[in-house]
Amino acid sequence: MADIQFGKGCGEILFPDGVAFQLSRTKRVRQVQFNGKHMATVRARDGMLTLSIDGAAALHQGLEKPASRVVICDDAVPFVSKGKTAFAKHVVAVDPELRAGDEVIIVDGKDEILATGQLLLSPAEALHLDRGPAVDVRRGIAQS
């Protein structure tokens, strides 16, 4: 699923040998952990993966820029890193291969991870619109 969602080879990045799976009460995979760190969660409604900060960091290292990234301006960094919504007016660049609904890594201009979330707009819309949310942030690096 990771290869389909994030690109070829991402399954090996997110799920190397030694991963542990946490199962739900119905015996389905819910969370994936590696070395005690939460890497991803499997959404029950569609089976797609949502990234944790540790999972995003692993993907960030394994993928070349701009893959799976949304770059925001410096003004929005403090808010997004706390888990607040990333608005379209703050988007500086977006991976053109992304589609609305994709799981993304939100970074600043220096390509440092700030948060993970779900892209709400197409890349063209995120770059050209001046209002409205662009990324629904799940978790920021400043959240504990």
Q: How confident is the model at residue 144 (pLDDT cuts 50, 70, 90)?
A: very low
Per the CB < 8 A criterion, the answer to whether 93 and 127 are in contact is yes
Per the CB < 8 A criterion, the answer to whether 32 and 15 are in contact is yes
Quick: pLDDT tens for 12-43: 888 888 888 888 888 888 888 888 888 999 98
55 three-state secondary structure: helix
* pTM value surpassing 0.85: yes
At residue 32, the pLDDT reads 87
Identify which has the larger pLDDT, 135 or 27: 135
Q: How confident is the model at residue 81 (pLDDT cuts 50, 70, 90)?
A: very high
